[in-house]
Amino acid sequence: MKLEVHLEGVSGSKTRVVELQREGERFQITLDGQPVNADAIEIAPNTISVILDGQSFVIHATPSLDDKLKLQCGPHEFSAEIVDPRVWRGRKQGALEAEGRQQITAPMPGKVIRLLVAAGDSVEAGQGLVVVEAMKMQNEIKSPKNGKVERLLVKEGQNVNAGDVLAWVE
Amino acid sequence: MKLEVHLEGVSGSKTRVVELQREGERFQITLDGQPVNADAIEIAPNTISVILDGQSFVIHATPSLDDKLKLQCGPHEFSAEIVDPRVWRGRKQGALEAEGRQQITAPMPGKVIRLLVAAGDSVEAGQGLVVVEAMKMQNEIKSPKNGKVERLLVKEGQNVNAGDVLAWVE
Amino acid sequence: MFKKILIANRGEIAVRILRACRELGIKNVAVFSEVDRTAPHVRLADEAYSIGPAASRESYLRIDKLMDVARRTGCDALHPGYGFLAENPALPRACSDAGMTFIGPSAEAMEMMGAKTSGKQLARRSEVPTVPGTDEAIENPEEAQSLARSMGYPVLLKAIAGGGGKGMRVVPTDAEFAGAWRDAASEALNAFGDPRLFLEKYLIGPRHIEVQIFADAHGRVVSLGERECSIQRRHQKVVEEAPSPVVTPELRKKMGEAAVRLARAGGYTNAGTVEFLVDADLNFYFLEVNTRLQVEHPVTEQVTGLDLVKLQIAIAAGHRLPFAWEAITPRGNAMEVRLYAEDPDNNFFPSPGKILSRHAPTGPGIRLDEGVYEGYTVPLEYDPLLSKLIAWGNSREETIARLRRALDEYTITGIRTNVSLFRRILAEPEFLRGEFHTKWLDELLARPSPPATPPRPGTEDASVIAAALWHTTRANSAANVNRTTSAEPSRWKSQGRRQQLDRTP
Amino acid sequence: MFKKILIANRGEIAVRILRACRELGIKNVAVFSEVDRTAPHVRLADEAYSIGPAASRESYLRIDKLMDVARRTGCDALHPGYGFLAENPALPRACSDAGMTFIGPSAEAMEMMGAKTSGKQLARRSEVPTVPGTDEAIENPEEAQSLARSMGYPVLLKAIAGGGGKGMRVVPTDAEFAGAWRDAASEALNAFGDPRLFLEKYLIGPRHIEVQIFADAHGRVVSLGERECSIQRRHQKVVEEAPSPVVTPELRKKMGEAAVRLARAGGYTNAGTVEFLVDADLNFYFLEVNTRLQVEHPVTEQVTGLDLVKLQIAIAAGHRLPFAWEAITPRGNAMEVRLYAEDPDNNFFPSPGKILSRHAPTGPGIRLDEGVYEGYTVPLEYDPLLSKLIAWGNSREETIARLRRALDEYTITGIRTNVSLFRRILAEPEFLRGEFHTKWLDELLARPSPPATPPRPGTEDASVIAAALWHTTRANSAANVNRTTSAEPSRWKSQGRRQQLDRTP
């Protein structure tokens, strides 16, 4: 099976092509067309041991809500999007769109306790937009860019879930 | 849902009738027709917390190969067979039959390295029948009763799996 | 000794206390709020009772409900843990009214020593150094300046009516005093309509070092040595160690004696902590008293070998502090990190949720005081402390090496944790040299992150391969599902996600 | 210091060694047989290489393969752990030929001290007491009897050609000597065609107590105190502790000096253990030397604070034993239990298989040296040691209380373990008083089991409710599956079992 893996991590974003061919209990693996000396096995649910040229790695895989696979390898984290040619899925268009316009989401469930800006306000990168309280702590959700608040989608007192869109900054 | 639970444990074997009625996220529970003050919840896969009259218990449930549910509650172990009236299943006949005749099974996978008796031999309870080697240790499988070896189903050098029948003692 | 103890707390500290009860052969009773039904302290306790909704003030802060459970279950003592009601004098009073023993100081000692102002007054009376300065306004600037000279610069001017930094000035030298006084007074007048000022010695880069004391009901008070707690993020301790890398045997003796003097003066019993600020010249100044067990008590346990919770219980039961304990000499070095469900890459935003998998470090020199398990959902209503990871070693270097090793082994999926914060702190040369103060971590975090350590060669390739393997095995099983079910589209993603998210029914 | 160490072992000891490497900043290389691909030591190592089939003699016992991996990966040292090749002099020789350092004694010291007969001879030469008696046949019964009188009764007669108990007699008193001699000689003649006998002092209820020694390459040899290892099942240690409940400071000094004398005489370097039998009068007799790290080394680590594996590595790298370590005084008491995958209700039959779930104890005073994880399949090819659980406490009583508490918290499903054996031992009054010997546990297990402790009231009801809840939630989800799939019968049992057994693909 040949897969495209879009990986994002410490050294930026890359697309790799992986081919896994089952051979008995193991797989023959090629990476970007080159055979690699790798032995990969899932040793516990979502825990994968990879021995690559003798180096031992353990990778923890967590499917995330945005349809990506979060990978933890020791202190390093990656986010992977996997394209399986056997399953046709329209590619996301979000990546391009997001360049100019940023969607601000709640990183965790909580309650909106204060709005710090109004729609139409100019904001700077790092400026607080909304205060969300969770686990007795108040947390400012900040603007990721200089721009203008296009829309605010929440009200004070409103409960939000992780991933809920709070605002758009253009 | 009303269930019959046949429990075997330290204090012998019993049949209890449990009724669970869902009420929101919890269950209303009756035991042998009496309502009990119990709150039961599965807090992790196969790990069940029961608070019964304020006493906190944690029970680990493991389905076993003989269609029974093994229950571990602290140092205590029980084996439960559950009869669900919604699912008709013929009751096992093994229990009666076994009174006179004992089936000797391998308690774990290994290799038969020696037969200590032959079919037709008279044996005493506790007498060794077969030696099975596993993890570099040799283990004598003993007769559970006085009687006669009816059949031997394995040969020296043969690999056996857990639960494989080794012999019958009549 | 007690027969049954009510543990009026939750999380790792409730687990810590019930383990001590179990080891002493004392029955224990846990309480829990609605969202804590699946919490570890409920799981491990002998008995457990619901005391109401998630909000603390409707459950863990309700003295009436605690007393009701205690009465119904026949408890003869109550342990408050830390936080919640632990420093509220109404709780020991309620215990006393109910004929139960409160495992901690008396309500009176709590009031006298726990409150900042009365604690400070007690310190002065017991000749325990406090930060030099005046509590009351000085009308005459010249008088103030001569006082500043006698204390030594820098000094801090503060508005009597002040707050929020208004009317506050650090004065580095005598030459700048008059101007700073004028500015501060005028700012105070503008801000509060009151120009009056007082002054305090300004401590540069002070350390937070605290002394663990124990006092029995028979007049014996001992110090069990100090803990270094200067590594704080926004006034919240995150790394603690014992002994402090800067405390000399002489200073230890002086601080210990001061702490014991204070406890005696306050008629204190049971465990308490006297917090000090220590300046660069190793002068120490009383800060406040915590009239309870500290979160960071394990580092003292690891170097002294004592079980502080058992000691609290014994003292509350009227036992004497054994003589031998006064002579305890700390051995080696212990360090604790507080593992929180929070996202260090996103301004330490709380990250509650379900722990999908967990691999905890073990082995020599490693202790874990846990408040979670695999499959547990960390609730959003409380402090997101997951566990405390404590390392012990023969030297500070060995302790840090073990802590690093343990952090490398520690993995948790499903929620974010602050593990990377500790990796960063434990790699900082200043930290390794023991050169830091209470603002050090905030300053460190204000600086741009250092370039990420490049991963070991192959890490990225291995991760790509792991992702592909993960996908392949799920894609195949999803295909199997498709064959046996209807033609309804079934994607591996929802399949994989369900496996992850729904492992607990 | 070394750059990279090959760990020529598996299981918990391989994990123990690689953790030490990691803490020292030394790269580590693991090796594994075909069935050990998923083993914890492979998972945690920096590098890992396959060395062949499951059978030890084709993998872990193959010096050529180990040397090949070491050469290819550029290792400059090798740690053998315990078992496998750890006491085979061919391994240090092969290391030396390959220009690598063997972390352990020299091949010569291993040969001289490790072999029973040469070890005993060395002990005699170094004035270390051995069990009194003759190694050679005594022709004359009268001569034998007078020797027996001088040694004191009871004595043991043994056939020179003997084995399997034939021609062996315990002689309790002088009056019985002549008859016993006659019977034993005639039995020996019948069994082996050789009537010759020798005799030894018969020790009644001896203890097995061993001394941990360390020797550097610069002539310094130290004792780190003793371990009590008398709790054995069929000559296999299952519980170990330090210090021994019967060893006095004087005896500790004498045994330590004897052990050091022996090590010096044998030109020993690195870690070693001198095993003694100790009789009821606290006389000690040399048994043998183990020229390697012991399974039970953690109890010494917990009371001395030393990391013995790091010490082994430092000494192998030519470092000197620091002076301070000679003055180490043990603190408190440590006890280890060996958790095995075996079924105590079925004659300790090995019980390998997949660990379906696991909840390990943590908290104060608890150390776990692990060789397993949740989801791991314990292979049937090797010693079924899962983990070592070690408790430390201020007193033996506290240590035992902590160990009990930890055993109560420890749960594992999918395989059987010997946890209940330890619950039983830790409840025996004789054990608690420290009154036991090397046959004590076998005698205990030969007695009928005591009536099972009745479970806490409600245990049975709670278990029944849990079973019903378990069934109900599965039955419902199975019903859901049935609705969406074809009419093919699907039973909850296979459903539930699949969930359990197939969690790892």
Q: Within an 8 Å CB–CB cutoff, is residue C505 touching chain B?
A: yes
Task: Mutate one of D23, D301, D402, D459 to test the C interface: name it (highest C CB count within 10 A).
Answer: D23
**Cα D414–chain centre separation:** 24
**pLDDT tens sequence across C285-319:** 999 999 999 999 999 999 999 999 999 999 999 99
Chain D residue numbers with beta carbons less than 8 Å from the beta carbon of A44 are 373-376, 503-504
Candidates D274, D265, D286; CA nearest to D128 is: D286
**pLDDT tens sequence across D286-324:** 999 999 999 999 999 999 999 999 999 999 999 999 866
Do A and B touch (≥3 CB pairs < 8 Å)?
A: no
> Is A109 in Cβ contact with C465 (below 8 Å)?
no
Q: Within an 8 Å CB–CB cutoff, is residue C19 touching chain D?
A: yes
Residue C476 confidence (pLDDT): 57
Q: How far apart are CA A41 and CA A38, in angstroms?
A: 10
> Is C42 in Cβ contact with B56 (below 8 Å)?
yes
Q: Within an 8 Å CB–CB cutoff, is residue A117 touching chain C?
A: no
Residue D164 confidence (pLDDT): 66
Nearest CB to C347 within list A14, A44, A139: A139
Helix (H) or strand (E) holding C392, with range, is: strand C385-393
Residue D491 confidence (pLDDT): 33
Nearest residue of C to residue D400 by CA position? Answer: C23
Q: How far apart, in Å, are the Cα atoms of B167 and each of B119, B130, B132, D126?
A: 9, 9, 13, 57
Task: Mutate one of D4, D22, D34, D47 to test the A interface: name it (highest A CB count within 10 A).
Answer: D47
CB pairs under 8 A between C and D: 93
Q: How far apart, in Å, are the Cα atoms of C386 and each of B23, C342, C359, C380?
A: 31, 10, 13, 12
Window 11-40 of A: residues touching D by CB (8 A cutoff) are 39
Which domains are delineated in chain C? 4-103 (3.40.50.20), 132-201 (3.30.1490.20), 207-446 (3.30.470.20)
Tell me the residue type at C194: D
**pLDDT tens sequence across B123-157:** 887 788 988 887 666 777 888 778 889 888 898 88
Nearest CB to D43 within list A39, A42, A49: A49
Task: Mutate one of C404, C464, C474, C490 to test the A interface: name it (highest A CB count within 10 A).
Answer: C464
CB pairs under 8 A between A and C: 178
Q: How far apart are CA C172 and CA C142, in angstroms?
A: 17
Is the pLDDT confidence value at D503 over 60? no
Residue A93 confidence (pLDDT): 31
> Is A41 in Cβ contact with D37 (below 8 Å)?
yes
> Is A47 in Cβ contact with D48 (below 8 Å)?
no
Residue C159 confidence (pLDDT): 87
Chain A residue numbers with beta carbons less than 8 Å from the beta carbon of C408 are 74-75
Tell me how close the Cα of C41 comes to any Cα of chain A, in angstroms.
19
Instruction: Read off the DSSP letter of residue D224.
Output: E
Total Cβ atoms within 10 A of residue D127? 10
Q: Where are the beta strands (DSSP E) in A84-156?
A: 102-105, 110-115, 122-123, 128-134, 137-142, 147-152
Q: How far apart are CA D360 and CA D463, in angstroms?
A: 21
> Is A31 in Cβ contact with C380 (below 8 Å)?
no
Which domains are delineated in chain A? 2-87 (3.30.700.30), 101-169 (2.40.50.100)
Task: Mutate one of D19, D309, D358 to test the C interface: name it (highest C CB count within 10 A).
Answer: D19
Residue D285 pairs with which residues in a beta bridge? D277
Q: How does residue D174 score in pLDDT terms, banded at 50, 70 and 90?
A: very high
Q: Within an 8 Å CB–CB cutoff, is residue D405 touching chain C?
A: yes
Tell me which residue has tokens 């994989």: C496
Nearest CB to C363 within list D16, D363, D402: D16
Task: Name the catalytic one among D207, D252, D292, D402.
Answer: D292
Tokens of A62: 């967590």
Nearest CB to C362 within list D369, D409, D505: D369
3-state secondary structure of D170: strand
Q: Within an 8 Å CB–CB cutoff, is residue A165 touching chain C?
A: no
> Is D366 in Cβ contact with C367 (below 8 Å)?
yes
Is C6 in contact with C65 (CB distance < 8 Å)? no
| Helix runs in D317-458, H state only | 323-326, 396-409, 419-425, 429-433, 440-446
Window 44-103 of A: residues touching C by CB (8 A cutoff) are 44-48, 50, 52-53, 55, 57-63, 67, 69-76, 78, 80, 82, 84, 86-87
Residue D330 confidence (pLDDT): 87
Phi, psi of B24 (to 5 degrees): 70, -130
Region B52-69 average pLDDT:
90
Tell me which residue has tokens 């065609």: D193
Q: How far apart are CA D100 and CA D70, in angstroms?
A: 9
**pLDDT tens sequence across D96-147:** 999 999 999 999 999 999 877 788 889 999 999 998 888 788 989 999 999 9
Is the pLDDT confidence value at C469 over 50? yes
Tell me how close the Cα of D43 comes to any Cα of chain A, in angstroms.
7
Candidates C467, C448, C295, C280; CA nearest to C371 is: C295
For every residue of C211-275, which 3-state class applies, written as one string? EEEEECCCCCEEEEEEEEEEEEECCEEEEEEECCCCCCHHHHHHHHHHHHHHHHHCCCCEEEEEE
> Is D22 in Cβ contact with C405 (below 8 Å)?
yes
Chain A residue numbers with beta carbons less than 8 Å from the beta carbon of D49 are 54
> Is A76 in Cβ contact with C469 (below 8 Å)?
no
Residues of C marked as catalytic: 292
> Is A72 in Cβ contact with C466 (below 8 Å)?
no
Bond preceding residue D455 cis, omega within 30 of 0: no
Residue B23 confidence (pLDDT): 86
Chain A residue numbers with beta carbons less than 8 Å from the beta carbon of D375 are 43-45, 47
> Is A135 in Cβ contact with C350 (below 8 Å)?
yes
> Is B53 in Cβ contact with D458 (below 8 Å)?
yes
Q: What is the ipTM of this complex?
A: 0.84
Instruction: Read off the DSSP letter of residue D427.
Output: T
**pLDDT tens sequence across A15-55:** 999 999 988 878 999 999 999 999 999 999 899 999 999 99
DSSP string of D255-296, one letter each residue: HHHHHHHHHHHTT--EEEEEEEEE-TT--EEEEEEE-S--TT
Tokens of C327: 């002579």
Q: For C146-150, C206-210, C387-391, which range has the lowest pLDDT when averaged over its residues?
A: C146-150
Nearest residue of C to residue D21 by CA position? Answer: C405
Residue A147 confidence (pLDDT): 86
Q: For B5-14, D43-52, D260-269, which range has the lowest pLDDT when averaged over its residues?
A: B5-14
More confident residue, D301 or A107: D301
> Is A43 in Cβ contact with D43 (below 8 Å)?
yes
pTM for the whole thing?
Answer: 0.85
According to DSSP, the β-strands at D4-7 and D77-79 are: parallel
Residue C325 confidence (pLDDT): 64
Q: How far apart are CA C127 and CA C254, in angstroms?
A: 12
Residue A65 confidence (pLDDT): 65
CA D19, D24, D26, D27 torsion: positive or negative? positive
Nearest residue of D to residue B7 by CA position? Answer: D464
DSSP string of B140-169, one letter each residue: EEEPSSSEEEEEE---TT-EE-TT-EEEEE
Region C350-360 average pLDDT:
91
